[in-house]
Copies of this chain bind each other. A is one copy, B any other.
Amino acid sequence: MPQNARESAVPMLMVTRITAMRFTRNAPMLAMGKCFSAMLYAGQGSIRYTRSLTRIPVRTSSRSYEVLVERGLLRSASALLRELVPSHAKAFLVSSPPILRLWGTSLTESFSDAGVSLEVLEMTDGETSKRLSAVEKLAGKMVSLGADRRSVVIAFGGGVVGDVAGFLASIFMRGIPVIQIPTTLVAQVDSAIGGKTGVNLVSGKNLMGTFHQPLAVLADPEVLSTLPDREYRSGLFEAMKYGVIRNPQIFDLMETHREALLRRDGELLERLIVECVQVKADVVSADEREGGERRILNFGHTIGHALESATKYKHFLHGEAVGWGMVAATLIGEGLKITDPGAAQRIIAMVLAYGSLPVVQVDGKRILTLLQSDKKTMGGVPHFILPTAIGKVDVVNTVSGRAVIEAAEEISQLSKAR
């Protein structure tokens, strides 16, 4: 068994797993139960996963759908795909060459087993590809391959592919469905869920986009096995965020099982993903358009975005910037006596323990200036999401410029001391 004694001491997670069954589109979605049912290992050999599927419902005014999590799901998705893609509809898989090389066959075989007609469209990954011109090129290819209003887009990749392909689907012939199949940890626990799509302008990130909820999100934790280490760690900071803003059990899990998670232990990783998805699904279901509760997802992102922007998105991966952003927000919260000191210590220690984070060489004043031009800055007042305890945050709009500058200087020093 892969679990050691310490790991089995982790508190029971709020998850129900059900055995794989034919997925029927109109079946009522299962509520999440309270126990983590026993797993059936096929043996001590290579097939370790349990062939059971976790379904997490997302309910928004524009669409209700499920996030489906299972190790090996890419290869075993044919029944799901058959139900999700209407018969006679063509599917257009948008992906990047590296993902296709590593995982393309697994997924395309599932499409083939499902009897769904599939066309593969390649796009270059990376922020520089998140442009309207990429969307236009993909749309042109779709038309030439006979796409119509009943076609379905499959977004198969990380955050960039998900954002671009989701946006493409949302505007192609005024909107066709998209299925998100995320292949990075950040995308599986965050960006593929909730319907945000977008591309960049020269003047800023994600300045053009839509809300376009997917038909479904299929997350296979096994694809994370080929993720570069730095990208994987970057995703862990987003996972940590869910612990701080909503679910202390995620935080505990990550505190207790740091080493196993860093070596990508399959079972723990799947549990972590399921828990994180549950938080994201709950928040999005309560607030599709970020008018209220959805803003708590921006914990660590206010200063995180400023760090990314100041370094032209070249120095930090998104999750890394969020890592430093969480430390800075926690320091600000502590200074304002909003954050419990014990909690603050745990949050900062955890971020540093999961490092290695890049050095912060951005001036505090520069960060403040950038905050004031952030698109989330409604009328000039930057909102901060500050932790009160592990699992609880407040939205605060009374943070002074001086507090921002001080926190920024402090993370800069912390980053250099390591």
Question: Residues on A close to B: CB < 8 A?
Answer: 88, 132-133, 135-136, 139-140, 143-144, 148-150, 167, 170-175, 196-198, 201-204, 206-211, 375-379
Contact = CB atoms under 8 A, between A and B. Distances in A.
A373 to B, nearest CB: 9
Contacts of A149: 375-376, 378
Secondary structure call for the A interface: mixed
Nearest to A143: B203
B208 A150 contact: no
Given A135-B132, A136-B201, A379 B172 contact: no
Contacts of A132: 132-133, 135-136
B171 A210 contact: yes
Contact of A379 (B88, B139, B140, B175): B88
Instruction: Determine which residue in A132, A167, A211 has the highest number of CB atoms from chain B within 10 A of its CB, and name it.
Output: A132
Contacts of A207: 139, 143, 172-173
Contacts of A379: 88, 148, 150
5 contacts: A140-B201, A171-B208, A171-B209, A174-B196, A174-B209
A37 to B, nearest CB: 39
A41 to B, nearest CB: 44
B150 A378 contact: yes
Contacts of A196: 174
A208 B172 contact: yes
Identical chains bound together, number: 2
A211 B196 CA distance: 16
A305 to B, nearest CB: 14
Pairs A-B, 6 closest by C-beta atoms: A143-B203, A174-B209, A132-B132, A171-B208, A132-B136, A173-B375
A294 to B, nearest CB: 12
A207 B172 CA distance: 6
Contacts of A206: 174
A206 B167 CA distance: 16
B211 A198 contact: no
A50 B148 CA distance: 48
A144 B378 contact: no
Contacts of A376: 149
A277 B78 CA distance: 48
B175 A144 contact: no
Contacts of A204: 143
Given A171-B171, A201-B136, A148 B210 contact: no
A313 to B, nearest CB: 17
Given A88-B379, A148-B379, 13 more contacts: A133-B133, A136-B201, A136-B208, A140-B202, A140-B203, A143-B203, A149-B375, A150-B378, A172-B207, A173-B209, A174-B206, A174-B209, A175-B211
A380 B255 CA distance: 58
Given A208-B171, A210-B174, A201 B378 contact: no
A214 B415 CA distance: 48
Contacts of A377: 148
A148 B173 CA distance: 27
